Amino acid sequence: MSAVERACVDGAKIHVSWTTNAPYIYEQNNAKRGVLLDIFQKGIQSCCKPGVTISFSSPEMERTMIEDVLLAKPDSILLPVGRNLGKIKTFYGRPFVVFVKSPGIAIVTGKTVSGADLLTAIVNSWPILVFIVTSLSLSGFVVWLLDHGSNTEEFPDFFPLGVFEGFWWAAVTMTTVGYGDKVPRSVPSRLFAVVWINAGLVIIAMFMGIVTSSLSSNMIGNASHLYGMVVSVKNTSVQYQYAVFQSSFVRAKATFEEVYSSVASGESQLALVDFLSSTQHDSYYSQHKLTVASVLEQSVAYGAVLPQHSNNLAQCLRDYQQRHSDEGLFLLDSYLSHAKDPNSEATDGTDYFDGSIFGYSVYAMAGLFLVILAVGLYWQKYHLPRRGEWRESKAGRDAELQDVEIELSTSGAKQQSELPSDTHTLSGKTSGLSTERLMAQQSAELLRVMDEFQSYRQSWEKSFRLLQERHRREQRELFRLDNMGYDM
């Protein structure tokens, strides 16, 4: 008979070593709670002499291998301890009593693909991008070759320009945008357009599929195996054993906080957590932006490990658990009644922009746009009006100066004609100087008028050419409509 069994018979104190694992056992407001603890305490009261008490030691199993705890605490009951369903009556040679069964193991991952993974997925799709550009170039060349003879307006004869216009048409057609600024006219080019429309849809679908596949490879939503994946688990747990058997790269952590932080930081691809425990971790999911992606059907039994030579107490506890299995379900439901589905709150998409190259790129482009917008508004509001006022004031000053010069020249000529003949004779030299100055002013005025005339002529000729071009286009359009049978 073990010390625990003797204490049970005598109604003395039973020692229990425990570790936090909600909803099985945890501490809240300096009081220990949990579905497994409630069932265990009721079983002890049923199997032991009245007056028996339970002494709980501080959690010691989180950072210690469970084998070491068993050796260090040979006369204590350990709980909660999880095991795969099967041969579950003993644990390292000590009696094991099952109190609660969990339906599976939760796979916990990030809510969304990170911005860096999103950018990487697009970059990794470069072969299909090269294929798209090559296809566009060839299609642009073909449509130019088939249509430039009868449609030089939209596909010019000049090879570089014509092929570029064809490239533009191919891109607009493949993406189903269809601006309509470039339209094939000849029968062969239209037949090719039909082929290219269908081919373009397939190419775009290929590109979207490759990007989606690349993104999906970073999301472990419905993983059937964990081979080669980096997995974060809690130390000494059943999930730890499962990850090892799956040949995963295991990152064993002491607490759930460390487990989830490992996933959030990118150290691990996912975390394996007991399903019932995962329902109690809403705060962790909100803090680290995680979610339960799926649940592996791997039933786990949680119970207590008793000291050696405690077979009578163990059998009594098993019998109590079987007799009160329905009560255990009611207790479990009471602890899970406030659990919230981690997937009930969809991500708002901002996760893509947090601490990644993709996010920094978007922020940089947004900042550049705001700077350009501010500069443009400033230019429109302040610089352009001042520039216009300066031009108007300069034109006004030039006009006033010209008026003054004309008035001076007119008054000078008039005064010159009214002078007596003897005055002309006496001041011949001065008169000659005034005449030369007047002729220079008139010559400058004539040059200015000629420059304005030349400028006006060039502007008129440009407008006339544009008018002729517009008239020719209208004639061609009328001719085309007439050939198509429209009543003109």
Q: What is the pLDDT of residue 259?
A: 94
What number of other Cβ atoms are within 10 A of residue 361's Cβ? 13
CB-facing half-sphere around the CA of 88: CA atoms within 13 A: 19
Of the chain, the end-to-end C-alpha distance in Å amounts to: 114
Domain positions in the chain:
3-102+300-335, 115-219, 222-296
- At 273, phi and psi to the nearest 5? -135, 145
Q: What is the pLDDT of residue 381?
A: 76
Tell the residue number behind the tokens 């098993």, with chain if given. 318
d(CA 170, CA 74): 79
Distance of CA 218 to the CA centre of its chain: 14
Cα-atom radius of gyration of the chain, to the nearest Å? 45
**Domain 3-102+300-335: which topology?**
D-Maltodextrin-Binding Protein; domain 2 (3.40.190)
d(CA 178, CA 195): 15
DSSP class of 21 = B
d(CA 399, CA 393): 10
d(CA 31, CA 35): 14
Per-residue pLDDT of the chain (488 residues; tens, 9 = 90+): 889 999 999 999 999 988 888 899 998 888 899 999 999 999 999 999 999 999 988 655 555 667 777 778 888 999 898 888 765 688 888 999 999 999 899 999 887 655 566 667 777 778 888 899 999 999 999 999 999 888 888 999 889 899 999 999 999 999 888 888 899 999 999 999 999 999 999 999 988 888 777 666 555 555 567 888 899 999 878 899 889 888 899 999 988 999 999 998 889 989 999 999 998 888 898 888 888 888 888 889 999 999 998 999 999 999 999 999 888 888 888 888 554 554 454 444 555 555 556 667 777 888 888 998 888 888 777 776 665 555 555 565 566 566 656 665 665 555 555 545 554 444 444 455 567 777 878 788 888 888 888 888 888 888 888 888 888 888 887 777 767 666 55
Check if 3-102+300-335 and 115-219 are the same fold. no
Whole-angstrom CA distances from 472 to 237, 264, 309, 483, 485 are 85, 67, 109, 17, 20
Q: What is the pLDDT of residue 19?
A: 86
127 token code pair: 């072969």
CA 414, 418, 423, 429: dihedral to nearest 10 degrees? 20
Q: What is the pLDDT of residue 250?
A: 92
d(CA 61, CA 96): 17
Q: What is the pLDDT of residue 187?
A: 93
Helix, strand or coil, per DSSP, at residue 35: helix
* pTM of full prediction above 0.75: no
Q: What is the pLDDT of residue 224?
A: 60
- At 312, phi and psi to the nearest 5? -65, -45
Of 25, 7, 85, nearest to 335 (Cα)? 25
Residue 295 bridge partners (DSSP): 106
Sequence-separated (6 or more) residues with CB below 8 Å from residue 184: 143, 146, 147, 151, 169, 190, 192, 193
**Domain 115-219: which topology?**
Helix Hairpins (1.10.287)
d(CA 43, CA 322): 11
Whole-angstrom CA distances from 337 to 23, 47, 108, 296, 332 are 11, 29, 21, 22, 9
- Residue pair 337/117 in contact by the 8 Å Cβ criterion: no
Q: What is the DSSP string of 87-143?
A: S-SEETTEEEEEEEEE--EEEEEESS--HHHHHHHHHTTHHHHHHHHHHHHHHHHHH
Helix, strand or coil, per DSSP, at residue 304: strand
Q: Which CATH superfamily includes the segment(s) 222-296?
A: Periplasmic binding protein-like II (3.40.190.10)
